[in-house]
Amino acid sequence: MSTADASLPPAFVTQPLPLATEPLRRRARPAAWWGMVLVVTTEAMIFAGLLSSWFYLRATSDQWPIGGLPSPKLWPIWAYSLVLVGSSIPVHLAHRAVPRGRRRAARVWLAVGFVMGAAFLARTAWDFAHAEFPIDRNAYASIFHTTVGLHALHVLAGLLMSAGVQVKLATGRVDRRRHLSVEMFALYWHFVDAVWIAVFASLYLSMH
């Protein structure tokens, strides 16, 4: 059904758009969330490139690690890996709790996730400071430290995001209706954890 609108030039009619009559369906995801999806995709390509480089250097080297450097030890890093990947659980629980209005629970879960991530980051930093070889020893050292280091920077960025979301929750900027920051953070955090699985498998597990 169309009607002529007197305020518009005669060339037009206006068409009222029918609205959904059934109960409010789940709204499409907001634009910013999709923006984060694309950022995650492009960051994933960075890690794909680094891991490809790692495998390429490995395939083209007679000896791996190059120069007789020690292979990375699995302990205690596999424990810290479990901590990091496990931190996706509290983050997910927080993500679920916010739309249900359970703010206190969400803040607790976010804090737990933060501590777990921070523990992993601290260990990575300690490992770097006490590394058995510097980044410029040879190509193995370079790709190893660059990959782990870049991942650690991503963990750091995630922790900063987590802190921001926690402040927003505490001050009421994020609530049961408006919680886009939590969704974007959760997506990013799960990505960081998934990348670590790939990095750990390639740089650590495949060496044993």
Partner 1 sequence: MTTIDPTAPPTGTPHPLEVAARRARDVGDALARTGDDHEIEHVWKDKPGFWGFFTTVDHKRLGTRYLYTAFVLFMFAGVQALVMRTQLAQPDEKLVGPQAYNELFTMHGTTMIFLFNTPVFAGFANYLLPLQLGARDLAFPRLNAFSYWIYLFAAAFMYTSFLSGHIPDGGWFAYAPLTEVPYSPGHGMDFWALGVAFVGISTTVGAVNFIVTVFKMRAPGMTLNRIPLFVWSIVAMAFMIVFAVPAITEASLMLAMDRLFHTAFFDPARGGAPLLYQHLFWFWGHPEVYILFLPAVGMMLTTIPVFSRQRLAGYLWAATAMVAIAFISFGVWVHHMFATGLPTGSMGVFSAASLVIAIPSGVLYLCWIATMLQGRVQWTTPMLFSLGFLLIFLMGGITGVMVAVMPFDWQATDSYFVVAHFHYVLNGAVVFPIFAGVYYWAPKITGRLLSERLGRWSFWTMFVSFHVAFFPMHVLGLMGMPRRVYSYHDGFGWGTLNLLSTIGAFVFGLGALLTFVNVAWSRRHGEVAGANPWGADTLEWATSSPPPDHNFTATPLVRSRHPLWDAPPAVLAVGTGDADETRALGRDGALDRSAAVTTGNETEPDGEILVPEPTVLPLVAAAGVATVFVGLLVKATLVGAVGVGVALVGVVWWMWRTEEDFV
Binding site for partner 1 (CB under 8 A): 2, 5, 8-9, 11-17, 19, 27-28, 30-32, 34-35, 38-39, 41-43, 45-46, 48-50, 53, 56-57, 60-61, 66-67, 135-143, 146, 160, 164, 168, 173-174, 178-181, 184
Between 12 and 78, CB nearer to partner 1: 12
In DSSP notation, 76-120 reads: THHHHHHHHHHTHHHHHHHHHHTTTT-HHHHHHHHHHHHHHHHHH
Between 57 and 108, CB nearer to partner 1: 57
Give the CA distances from residue 124 to residues 55, 121, 129, 178, in Å, rounded to whole numbers and listed in that order: 22, 5, 9, 35
Between 118 and 146, CB nearer to partner 1: 146
What is the per-residue burial (b if ≥16 Cβ within 10 Å, else e) of 136-156? ebbbbbbbbbebbeebbebbb
Per the DSSP assignment, residues forming a β-bridge with 3 are 14
C-alpha–C-alpha distance, residues 107 and 159, integer Å: 14
Q: Residue 174 CB, nearest distance to partner 1 (Å)?
A: 6
> DSSP code of 37?
H
Q: Residue 42 CB, nearest distance to partner 1 (Å)?
A: 5
- Given a contact cutoff of 8 angstroms between Cβ atoms, the answer to whether 69 and 137 are in contact is yes
Q: Residue 83 CB, nearest distance to partner 1 (Å)?
A: 26
Q: Residue 127 CB, nearest distance to partner 1 (Å)?
A: 18
Between 33 and 78, CB nearer to partner 1: 33
Between 8 and 79, CB nearer to partner 1: 8
Q: Residue 200 CB, nearest distance to partner 1 (Å)?
A: 20
